[in-house]
Amino acid sequence: MSGSVYTFASFSRGESLGFRLGGPGLGNLLFPWARSVSFAKRHELQRINSTWRTVKLGPILRGEFDKRFYSDMFKEHEIGGINKFLLLNTSRKVAESDAKDILQTKSHGTKVVVFSGMEGLFEAILDDSEIIKKELLKMVLPHHKEQAEKFDSDGICVHIRMGDFTVAENEDIIRQGAWNYRLPMKWYVDIVNRLRSEAGYDIEVNIFSDGTDEDLAEILKLPNTRRRFYGSAIADMLALSRSRLLIASASTFSMWASYLGRMPTIWFPGTHRQKLYKEEEAFEGEIDYGEPFPSSLIETIKKESAH
């Protein structure tokens, strides 16, 4: 291993032992993982397996469907076990910002380029969606892919993030771009009702959420509306990526579903933090209460209603 360069997506401290305590959710974790994949592919480097397994008390205490342990979702086929432990504990660590400089030098010794955090969001991987999706599917265990593939609907998909997200005192906080706030349920209902009006019938609405039925009562009472849950965070993300149209929450989870699926995506004002794909691919943008839909979105709905 002398003189070699490896990449590693770091999620928290002490992860060389194969597990973590707490830490961010799946959407946030995928950013450093994806950047490490992209960099390794571009420079033909080997990667060290990420440490996905974690223990979290929050989802347990809140009684969420998915406890987010991430212990049985992925199997990376890179460097693991004792070799991973040795590389992470004996090699020189290099910050992601210095990665290119390291490749250009001829210094001896083994180096590990460490990718961490979610700064820049998708900026570094905007053009790598096919590679990232391929590598993600490669490491997802078959059971979760099979569950996600059960989702087959021409309807609308709605992602409603609750869990540890805060209820905003007023919508202005969200509109100004603040993170980790629940979106108003009345906004989801407004968008759904107006899309149905454009479709000309009660097009099916599929709700993906970590909230309770009581939390979601206002939208679940709409006709032809049902909850969807496929057993894990990654299965739900992959199912959402199969949507024909996504009404997003203000979360990185929704961003990943949109990035992977490249479908028309509607965002609440102040929450579309980054353009994820080219304009000709599909509509992605913010739509307020009562605001007219762009013609491309109306065409999508009408095509769905013809199926």
- Which pLDDT belongs to residue 2? 44
Based on the domain organization, do 152 and 99 belong to the same domain?
Answer: no
- Which pLDDT belongs to residue 204? 95
CB-based contact 113:96 (threshold 8 Å): yes
- Which pLDDT belongs to residue 55? 66
Tokens read off for 162: 């609750």
Distance between CA 73 and CA 191 in Å, rounded?
33
Based on the domain organization, do 88 and 107 belong to the same domain?
Answer: yes
Based on the domain organization, do 118 and 149 belong to the same domain?
Answer: no
- Which pLDDT belongs to residue 65? 54
- Which pLDDT belongs to residue 1? 41
Based on the domain organization, do 19 and 154 belong to the same domain?
Answer: no
Residue type, 72: D
Based on the domain organization, do 166 and 180 belong to the same domain?
Answer: yes
Distance between CA 148 and CA 136 in Å, rounded?
14
Bridge-based pairing of strands 92-95 and 111-115 is parallel
Based on the domain organization, do 206 and 253 belong to the same domain?
Answer: yes
Going by C-alpha positions, the residue among 277, 305, 231, 256 that lies closest to residue 66 is 231
CB-based contact 2:110 (threshold 8 Å): yes
Based on the domain organization, do 125 and 33 belong to the same domain?
Answer: yes
Please list the rounded mean pLDDT of every run of 10 residues in the chain (307 residues).
Answer: 82 80 86 98 96 69 57 92 94 93 80 96 96 98 97 94 92 96 98 95 96 96 97 96 96 98 97 92 96 92 66
Residue at a domain's end among 92, 117, 139: 139
- Which pLDDT belongs to residue 17? 75
3-state secondary structure of 305: helix
Residue labelled with tokens 């950047």: 35
The model's pTM: 0.91
Tokens read off for 72: 């049985």
- Which pLDDT belongs to residue 63? 60
Q: What is the domain count for the chain?
A: 2
Based on the domain organization, do 175 and 127 belong to the same domain?
Answer: no
8 phi, psi to nearest 5 deg: -150, 130
Residue at a domain's end among 121, 139, 157: 139
Residue at a domain's end among 110, 139, 168: 139
Based on the domain organization, do 112 and 244 belong to the same domain?
Answer: no
97 lies in which domain range? Answer: 5-139
3-state secondary structure of 202: coil
171 phi, psi to nearest 5 deg: -65, -20
